Structure 1
Amino acid sequence: MTAPALVIFDCDGVLIDSEIIGARVFSECLNAAGFPATLEEALELGLGTNALTLTEAVAARYGRPLPPGFIERMRTMRQEAHRRELKPIRGIAELLGALHVRRCVASNTHIDHLRHALTLTRLLPFFEPHVFSASMVARGKPAPDLFLLAAERLAVPPQHCLVIEDSVSGVTGARAAGMPVIGFCGGSHCRPGHAERLAAAGCMQAFTTMAEIGAFLAAAVAPGESEQERLPNRTGIGIPERGCGKLSR
């Protein structure tokens, strides 16, 4: 893989441990509206979607559309839950603080909620002003539009970007944009077989911790040097005792 000039981070499930919160709220809202759904079913339906694809997925599954105002009510409930519960993914602040490569966020979440979540978790300063939402493009993930927008705004060719994703739709969108992508499977929402699903969508490698991703990025930024030479001098990210590799769960 070419050394990345830009690392594009998904937000939910990669920067913040929010997917499980969102799935719980989604399940509660579905049941209240007469659409029976367990937490696992809500995860399956909602992971990596935006409002449009979520609405389409529900209509396809239940044979009827969501009631008017459903998405707005769900967003309000999710934002309230975030205020109480939202936390950054363990190790992400350390990784971002040590990463000397340009970075941005590309998320299917609406821009207002995206910035709010990053502010709550104190991660926004690591990315400002390079925060991109599906609300800025015609099509969110799994279409490539959002990734291509991020690359265009930062003037980096797609093949010189590296995407970090936790969802099949995100991996699909990154690959459609011509970008290499690695997977993160360390969020509270990840279940057995998650890495295999990401791999089937085109993810080249999956990791369970940010320390592993830090080691991978350090090696990718400075290929050809020894581990001792490249890590402290180029990125400041140290290799953990347990090296990076494909996830087996």
Structure 2
Amino acid sequence: MSCCFDLVIFDCDGVLIDSEILAIEAEVRVFTRHGLPVDAAFILDHCTGLSWKSELAFMEAWFKVTLPPGISAEAAQETESLLEARLVAIGGIEAVLDGLTIPACVASSSTPERLRLSLGKVGLYARFAPHIFSSTMVQNGKPAPDLFLYAAREMQAAPDRCVVIEDSVHGVHAAKAAGMTAIGFTGGSHCRSGHAQRLLEAGADRVIGGHDALAPALACPAVRARG
């Protein structure tokens, strides 16, 4: 696969693994148990792409509540149970990785523990390790650019030579704030009608519907037109 970039930065949930729909299901269960009237659409609209710390802060501010400290462990247990039972990789990712001729890494809002669990379950952890970066490694998670800039520094790549593959509005905002090219991805089962347009409106330079379209997007200079 020829490429006009020096580094590909993959988001994890919803790009490498079809986990967003499972995480959303777990979060809806937990938040409703604690009296918050949320559904999957609410989580999708407001929280996809955020770190758990940022999501909790958003929920407390939105609903004007203080959530109990134990809710984090509760959500982690609920999510891990669903991941263990139903997690799969996004179709086509293995072929993409086999064809890459430049370095690649992962930059995710998930914790290192969850990244090891989820990527390991679908056989992708060894494909990226040790180049797997978590928002816990930086001060500010997405939509701040910190995580992507940290990944670029660790991989010794200039930001303007990096391309980020992201499924969330918050992630696209972070990539563009970092001065990187952003390719929106709508191949996860959580993506609803109109999601491609939402990613474009957030600043994505291009949107693809699956990994079969990624190789042409990486090779084509036109992807950088809006960067």
What is the TM-score when the length of structure 1 is the normalising length?
Answer: 0.85
CA distance in 2, matches of 1:111, 1:164: 19
Range that drifts further, 94-103 or 81-90: 94-103
Helix, strand or coil at the partner of 2:14: coil
1:39 positional shift: 1.9
Matched, 1:59 2:60: yes
Identity value in percent: 40
Helix, strand or coil at the partner of 1:132: strand
Whether the 8 Å contact between 1:45 and 1:58 is mirrored in structure 2 is no
Corresponding residue of 1:123: 124
CA distance in 1, matches of 2:209, 2:9: 18
Helix, strand or coil at the partner of 1:142: coil
CA distance in 2, matches of 1:111, 1:42: 22
Corresponding residue of 1:133: 134
1:42 positional shift: 2.5
Corresponding residue of 2:90: 89
Whether the 8 Å contact between 2:164 and 2:175 is mirrored in structure 1 is yes
Whether the 8 Å contact between 1:20 and 1:43 is mirrored in structure 2 is no
Whether the 8 Å contact between 2:163 and 2:180 is mirrored in structure 1 is yes
For 1:46, the aligned partner's letter is C
Corresponding residue of 1:192: 193
CA offset digits 1:126-171 (Å, max 9, x no partner) = 2111000001111111111111111101111000110000001111
Helix, strand or coil at the partner of 2:59: helix
Aligned ranges for residues 127-206 of structure 1 at < 5 Å? Answer: 127-206=128-207
Aligned ranges for residues 63-78 of structure 1 at < 5 Å? Answer: 63-78=64-79
Whether the 8 Å contact between 2:4 and 2:219 is mirrored in structure 1 is no
Corresponding residue of 1:45: 46
1:6 positional shift: 0.3
Corresponding residue of 2:27: 26
Corresponding residue of 1:106: 107
Q: RMSD over aligned Cα, in angstroms?
A: 1.6
Q: List structure 1 runs of 4+ shifted beyond 3 angstroms.
A: none
Gaps in structure 1 of 5+ consecutive residues: 224-243, 245-249
CA distance in 1, matches of 2:119, 2:202: 27
CA distance in 2, matches of 1:183, 1:190: 11
CA distance in 2, matches of 1:45, 1:27: 13
Q: How many residues align?
A: 221
CA distance in 2, matches of 1:39, 1:152: 35
CA distance in 2, matches of 1:136, 1:72: 20
Helix, strand or coil at the partner of 1:190: coil
Whether the 8 Å contact between 1:4 and 1:160 is mirrored in structure 2 is yes
What is the TM-score when the length of structure 2 is the normalising length?
Answer: 0.93
Bigger Rg, which one:
1
